[in-house]
């Protein structure tokens, strides 16, 4: 039997799919390292146990699969019926038995991967709507999944760190986060400088004269920007007398 492969031949999209699949495999490894009892422990997200994180990742795959079905068929299939429905789904998933919760992750990841694999090349450009109401091409689902699995693998609080995330993913995350700040106008006077790279990476408000400057290696800066801690970054300028300020809200 001939193996079935992705129908797209776009090299950029194929690279994105690879990063999403690697992130899913990484999340699976960190999840499988946890015992069933460990699932009851806290995650790095306030108010969420590891059960909540795992349920969220499982249902997120199902929601993105619905968008791919939309792109394939032209029949509108929203990610979630409502924000309340999404929250209720995660809360319910967190009550599942350990084996059911693990199966939710495994089966939903396979389902999404099959939907991606079988989507015709031209359908990747079909427009769908995210849970936030953004109209995007179906190919955006790949990045949406990539950031979820890599960041939430860290949130499982099982030894994964932002340093485990590939550099291209970290770089795009930082662009996404700082772009969201700029859109909301919450980055006024805030400049982020990444050290330790071949080329200088600077994000944020470059026009301000009195800047709060956050400096550090890429992984540490992204961790700070994503609201997961400030280890490894330094801060200077206004508002830093008591330490590194919290990053503006991202999502």
pLDDT at 50 over 60: yes
Percentage helix, strand, coil for the chain under 3-state DSSP, each rounded to 5: 55, 10, 35
Confidence of residue 2 (pLDDT cuts 50, 70, 90): low
Same domain? For 156 and 172 the reply is no
Same domain? For 139 and 194 the reply is no
Over residues 200-228, the mean pLDDT reads: 86
Q: Which of 208, 174, 203 is nearest to 188 (CA)?
A: 208
Asked, for residue 251, whether it belongs to a domain, the answer is: no
Same domain? For 155 and 82 the reply is yes
pLDDT at 138 over 90: yes
Give the domain-ending residue among 131, 160, 189. Answer: 160
Asked, for residue 208, whether it belongs to a domain, the answer is: yes
Provide the CATH number for the domain around residue 130.
1.20.120.450
Question: What is the predicted pLDDT for the residue at 239?
Answer: 66
Question: What is the predicted pLDDT for the residue at 242?
Answer: 67
Question: What is the predicted pLDDT for the residue at 136?
Answer: 96
Range of the domain at 139: 11-160
- β-strand partners of 127: 137
**Number of domains composing the chain:** 2
Asked, for residue 242, whether it belongs to a domain, the answer is: no
Give the domain-ending residue among 106, 136, 160. Answer: 160
Same domain? For 32 and 147 the reply is yes
Question: What is the predicted pLDDT for the residue at 18?
Answer: 96
With contact defined as beta carbons under 8 Å apart, do 145 and 112 qualify? yes
Residue 169 half-sphere exposure toward CB, CA atoms < 13 A: 26
Question: What is the predicted pLDDT for the residue at 4?
Answer: 77
Q: Are strands 212-217 and 190-195 parallel, antiparallel or unpaired?
A: parallel
Alpha-helical (H) ranges within the chain are: 11-32, 50-73, 83-93, 98-118, 140-155, 167-184, 218-225
Give the domain-ending residue among 115, 130, 160. Answer: 160
Q: Which residue has the tokens 């993105």?
A: 64
* Between 14 and 246, the higher pLDDT residue: 14
pLDDT at 207 over 80: no
With contact defined as beta carbons under 8 Å apart, do 142 and 17 qualify? yes
Question: What is the predicted pLDDT for the residue at 30?
Answer: 98
Q: What is the mean pLDDT of the chain?
A: 92
Same domain? For 142 and 49 the reply is yes
Question: What is the predicted pLDDT for the residue at 235?
Answer: 86
Asked, for residue 180, whether it belongs to a domain, the answer is: yes
Q: Which of 159, 130, 145 is nearest to 32 (CA)?
A: 159
For residue range 173-194, list pLDDT tens digits in order. 999 999 998 888 888 888 888 9
**DSSP label at residue 42:** B
Provide the CATH number for the domain around residue 210.
3.30.1050.20
């Amino acid at each position: 039997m001939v193996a079935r492969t992705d129908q797209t031949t776009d090299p950029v999209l194929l690279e994105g799919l690879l990063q999403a699949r690697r992130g899913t495999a990484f999340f699976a490894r960190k999840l499988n390292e946890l015992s069933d009892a460990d699932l009851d422990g806290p995650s790095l997200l306030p108010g969420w146990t590891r059960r909540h994180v795992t349920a969220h990742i499982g249902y997120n795959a199902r929601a993105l699969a619905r968008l791919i079905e939309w792109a394939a068929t032209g029949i509108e299939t929203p990610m979630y019926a409502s924000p309340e429905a999404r929250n209720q789904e995660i809360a319910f998933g967190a009550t599942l038995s350990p084996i059911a919760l693990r199966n939710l992750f495994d089966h939903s990841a396979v389902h999404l991967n099959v939907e991606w694999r079988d989507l015709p090349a031209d359908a990747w450009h079909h427009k769908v709507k995210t849970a936030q109401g953004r109209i995007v091409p179906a190919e955006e689902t790949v990045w949406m999944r990539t950031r979820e699995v890599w960041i939430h693998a860290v949130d499982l609080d099982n030894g994964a760190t932002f340093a485990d995330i590939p550099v291209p993913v970290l770089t795009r995350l930082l662009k996404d986060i700082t772009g969201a700040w700029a859109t909301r106008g919450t980055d006024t006077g805030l400049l982020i400088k990444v050290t330790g790279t071949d080329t200088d990476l600077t994000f944020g408000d470059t026009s301000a004269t009195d800047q709060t400057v956050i400096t550090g290696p890429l992984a540490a800066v992204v961790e700070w920007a994503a609201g997961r801690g400030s280890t490894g970054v330094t801060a200077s300028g206004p508002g830093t007398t008591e330490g590194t300020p919290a990053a503006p809200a991202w999502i």
